Chain A
Amino acid sequence: MAIKVSSLAKEMFEASRTVLEDSWPEIKDYAKAEFKKIAESMAMIARLRAAGKLTQKKARLHLEIQKNASRMVLLTVEGLGIIAVERAINAALGAVRDTVNTAVGFRLV
């Protein structure tokens, strides 16, 4: 039984799309929550500076700390995205395995 490429590709696409659609809301919620906290911290630093409680040098160091924290959050978002892609690829490969096993007529894989 020949493998129909277009059907196989569609199966793979649908399997991976479901995984990505499921993963995105969680990643989005995490990113939104974390950036809200960082924005609040930056507002506080600005307020402390305006109130004369932070020198320019201190304010710069505070800002560097917040920037690095933001970078760490973004790296987590990147990592979560890559894991989601990984799951999507494996889901798509899973779809291929079933189709291939059917095509060869026995459980080859």
Chain B
Amino acid sequence: MRASGGFAAKMGSALRLTVVATALIGLGCQVKLVADYDEITDRSVTALQREFERFFVEVERKIGTPEADHANYVDFYDGVRAELGVIRVRAAARPKNEITIRQLDLLAENVDNLEALHELGFDDPEELEPLRSAFQQSFQAILTLELAKKRGQ
């Protein structure tokens, strides 16, 4: 009897210690409110930014000629939309990544707006400046957040 009472007491203590330890280990786990850094997203967004830089350099050089017309850049718009789609799918597959997803959606909207402008025609190189700046800032915004997710890694 004494042996079984002792055993029960030990089991009770072990159970209590396990519950406390689990709670405290839970406290010991790091809280994560935002997704982790993703190198592929970083590289993909950087590569996309490079394409937009090239686009603006080219269009600026060709402006005032038929070569700058939208018809010559349909592949560019299709291509960047496809790449954005791939990046977004990857971003959406990662938990706690809602902010980056929203940024990518806004960037996609701006691609549509840029194409709509292009269809109307770019007549003056000055017109490209605020566009180039907006896209540079957009990419910088996405990458600034992505790099911040490193959290000192």
Q: Which residues of A contact B (CB under 8 A)?
A: 30, 34, 37-38, 40-42, 44-45, 48, 53-55, 57-58, 61-62, 64-66, 68-69, 71-73, 75-76, 78-80, 82-83, 85-87, 89-90, 93, 96-97, 100, 108-109
Contact of B24 among A41, A65, A108 (CB under 8 A): A108
CB distance from B25 to the nearest CB of A (A): 6
Interface residues on B, range: 35 or more
Report the nearest A residue to B143, measured CB to CB. A76
A76 to B104 CA separation, bound complex (whole angstroms): 12
The one of A58, A71, A108, A109 that contacts B120, using a Cβ cutoff of 8 Å: A58
Closest 9 CB pairs of A and B: A41-B130, A69-B134, A72-B141, A109-B28, A76-B141, A79-B145, A86-B33, A79-B99, A68-B106
The reply to whether B113 and A61 form a contact with Cβ atoms under 8 Å apart is: yes
Query: Which A residues touch B137, using CB under 8 A?
Result: 34, 37-38, 69, 72-73
Q: Please, could you name 10 A-B residue pairs with CB atoms under 8 Å apart, sorted by A?
A: A44-B130, A45-B130, A48-B127, A54-B127, A55-B120, A68-B110, A69-B138, A75-B106, A76-B141, A93-B28
- Any chain A CB within 8 A of the CB of B15? no
Secondary structure at the B interface, as helix, strand, loop or mixed, is helix
In contact, B134 and A66 (Cβ under 8 angstroms): yes
B118 shortest CB reach to chain A, Å: 10
- B71 contacts the other chain (Cβ, under 8 Å)? no
Q: A69-B138, A72-B106, A83-B148 are in contact. Are A90 and B30 (CB under 8 A)?
A: yes
Interface residue ranges, B against A (CB under 8 Å)? 20-21, 24-25, 27-28, 30-34, 99-100, 102-103, 106-107, 109-110, 113-114, 116-117, 120, 123-124, 126-127, 129-131, 133-135, 137-138, 140-142, 144-145, 148-149, 151
Enumerate chain B residues within 8 angstroms of A96, measured Cβ to Cβ: 27
In the complex the two chains form, what is the Cα distance from A14 to B126 in whole Å?
A: 51
Q: Which residues of B contact A108 (CB under 8 A)?
A: 20-21, 24
Q: Are A30 and B33 in contact (CB under 8 A)?
A: no
Give B15 Cβ to nearest chain A Cβ, in Å: 16
Residues of A within 8 A of B131 (CB): 62, 65
Please name all residues of chain A whose beta carbon is closer than 8 Å to the beta carbon of B103 when the two chains form the complex. 72, 75-76
Q: How far is the CB of B23 from chain A (nearest CB, A)?
A: 10
When chains A and B are docked, how far (Å) is the Cα of A100 from the Cα of B129?
58
Please determine whether B134 and A89 come into contact, CB atoms closer than 8 angstroms. no
